[in-house]
Chain A
Amino acid sequence: MKEAAPQSAEQSAERRVTTYREACREGIRQALIGDERTFLMGEDVGLYGGCYAVSKGLLDEFGPARIRDTPLSENAFVGAGIGAAMAGMRPIVEIMTCNFSLLALDQIVNNAATLAHMSGGQFAVPLVIRMATGAGRQLAAQHSHSFEGWYAHIPGLKILAPGTIEDARHMLKPALADPNPVLIFEHIMLYNAEGDLDPNLQGVDITSAKIRRPGRDVSLLTYGNSLPKAMEAAELLSSEGIEAEVVDLRVLRPLDEETIIASVSRTRRCLIVDEGWKSGSLSAEISARLTERAFFELDAPIMRLCAREVPIPYAAHMEEAALPQTPAIVELARSLASPQ
């Protein structure tokens, strides 16, 4: 591609505009090309083209054995993915959305997360489970959950939340190379996001949080679809002279405490933004760790902006009010950064 590009288009050849959805698809394609033991399995991944069109075209390219359509039976096909991983395959299981992963919770929590430990290390579960997460499309309570924080409660799992096109493209490879079950949460509001993808980027790690925007005044710790909101907020704050540092958590389990603590130690103020609920949550966990390890670095109490404690309602204005939004991030960050 690079060779074919005319001289004048040098820049656009360097960075390719793509979408989060296409980036997810390309990640899967390369995984399938790179390892014969890898296959994609889930509801409507083949004939239908994926419920969010991520796997569109892959059935034609790879055939039905490697793009395996399943009936509605989340508990069974997730369990089958676990079994196949134990027996030598490297499956990618797609659950349409995290809402339906509840039907597979038993297999994920009681099997995937425990088998390595219970078997005294005789078995590993090198499995990737991808699922869409989040709210924002007026799909009402049963289709708007954010369960990544819940899953991050479970030892034996690794939890990833790509919030950028780069991560959507590259997190899958290290996830598949990992000997453990890795759950990847793709936010439904990000699939259409467009952006550049550096073709020279060879990969990303799945161990660290990333500072997406440096700043000295306040740390915004976030991930997923709250990341673009935090970036937007940081932009607005900057015009007021407040420099917010945006930390993309990316890896929700295990948490990259060092990056988080380093950022908060610099800014001395911290706002956690999470689309999950507050009670017993990921944001609570981060707050607790900061309190344990960086309490004396803080100049102000830690703040959290999370989903309101309600099943996500259908009506647009109510859904919007239930979720963390940019203006609220700006307001809270401002109140942190400019104490009265």
Chain B
Amino acid sequence: MSSKTHLDRQHALRVLQDMLLIRRFEAKCVELYQAQKIRGFLHLYDGEEAVAVGVMQALGARDAVVATYREHGQAIARGVPLGPLMAEMYGKREGCCRGRGGSMHIFDRAKRFFGGNAIVGGGLPLAIGIALADKELGRGAVTACFFGEGAVGEGAFHESMNLAELWGLPVLFVCENNLYAMGVPLEQGEAETDIYRKASAYRMPAEMVDGMSPVAVESATLRAVESIRAGNGPYFLECRTYRFRAHSMFDAQLYRTREEVELWKARDPLVLMRSWLEENHMLSAQEYAAMESEVEREIDEAVAFAEAGSWEAVEDLERFTLMDEVPE
């Protein structure tokens, strides 16, 4: 595999469409949240789409993904089917986790999507173990582990980094640095604000990437995956990005200014990608409209699937607390 990104038209359109799907899916989620169809915590990925979409372009079916609680984007980019995803947000039996997980806990075994995790940093040690198993079982797979820069403050981050390098594991660390951990600005949360530099203390190759550019993220991920598959051990990407919306649905955003948000919105990965494609005559207004209606259709279908779903029987409440066997 070459680490050069092939920006052929079809691929570029695919990337744009994936980002659009995430954006619109989440806009629908907000609507549904207001209609109280979706409850609990809802963390949106608005503005960060280029990271998940860029990374996933460079992964294959055998690779594994460990996600955060802000994982709709990661799940959609990974190809988790939209219907069961939306049904999970509704808490329906047809949801990918049978209504037990909700927004923060999307799992999809078939996609090797090892779950949204609502404990900050909670996924990092899992990624180490998944990569260890893949290595020992000779799967030749890479585990992509997503986490926010806030997770870097936790001991689990440092312990995991050390293990990954020490054992030469095929882990791709993807730090989604959106500059705020809830209300904590990067410079108030980290003594070293260039997160990727922490990797060097663990002797791990690392890059800082423009997380608003899916192209930049994809090519960095291709380089990383190439290095990991060559047996060089883990690799670290710090993707600089920004969340356009509140941390979750309850957040007065006292910690940042409207101007700052607007400044970052000028770098909206969807807007940039779309205008780049248009300027290079790879996308017409008509084609974009068609893309939009295709995306809307997929979302409508997902909502219809969720609406038509059923509620798990209360008698099955305790099911899956313990398993009878290990699923194959």
Contacts and interface: CB of A to CB of B under 8 A. Distances in A.
Interface string B305-328: 000000110100110010000000
Listed from nearest, the 8 A-B pairs whose CB atoms lie closest are A48-B183, A315-B91, A314-B102, A71-B153, A315-B99, A138-B40, A71-B189, A138-B39
Nearest to B311: A317
29 contacts: A47-B183, A47-B184, A47-B254, A48-B254, A49-B252, A49-B254, A71-B150, A72-B150, A72-B184, A72-B189, A75-B155, A99-B119, A102-B119, A138-B102, A139-B41, A139-B102, A139-B118, A143-B41, A310-B317, A313-B99, A314-B91, A315-B91, A315-B92, A315-B99, A315-B100, A315-B102, A316-B39, A316-B91, A318-B312
A210 B217 CA distance: 60
B302 to A, nearest CB: 18
B104 interface: yes
A103 B311 contact: no
A142 interface: yes
B124 interface: no
Interface string A75-115: 11000000000000000000000011011000000000000
B277 interface: no
Contacts of A148: none
B74 interface: no
Contact of B184 (A71, A141, A316): A71
DSSP majority for the B interface?
loop
B317 A322 contact: yes
Given A49-B252, A71-B153, A44 B119 contact: no
B21 interface: no
A142 B321 contact: no
A55 B124 CA distance: 31
B311 A315 contact: yes
A311 interface: yes
Interface string A137-151: 111111100000000
Contacts of A177: none
A248 interface: no
B120 interface: yes
A10 interface: no
Interface string A301-338: 00000001111011111100110000000000000000
Interface string B4-45: 000000000000000000000000000000000001110000
A44 B184 contact: yes
Interface string B175-202: 0000001111100111000000000000
B254 A314 contact: no
A138 B317 contact: no
Nearest to A322: B317
Contacts of B184: 43-44, 47-48, 69, 71-72
A72 B318 contact: no
B154 A73 contact: yes
A69 B185 CA distance: 11
A17 B93 CA distance: 43
Interface residues on B, range: 35 or more
Contacts of B188: 47, 69, 71
B108 to A, nearest CB: 16
B40 A71 contact: no
B179 to A, nearest CB: 13
A318 to B, nearest CB: 6
A204 interface: no
A105 to B, nearest CB: 12
A51 interface: yes
Interface string B148-191: 00110111100000000000000000000000011111001110
Nearest to B314: A321
A71 B314 CA distance: 40
Given A140-B40, A142-B117, A314 B312 contact: no
B104 A140 contact: yes
Given A313-B317, A315-B99, A48 B40 contact: no
A51 B254 CA distance: 12
B274 interface: no
Given A315-B100, A318-B100, A72 B181 contact: yes
B121 interface: yes
B255 A48 contact: yes
B78 interface: no
A316 to B, nearest CB: 6
A137 B38 CA distance: 12
B243 to A, nearest CB: 14
Nearest to B254: A49
B200 to A, nearest CB: 20
A96 to B, nearest CB: 9
A308 B317 contact: yes
B105 A314 contact: yes
B107 to A, nearest CB: 12
B101 interface: yes
Q: From B153, B181, B251, name the one whose CB has the most chain A CB atoms within 10 angstroms.
A: B153
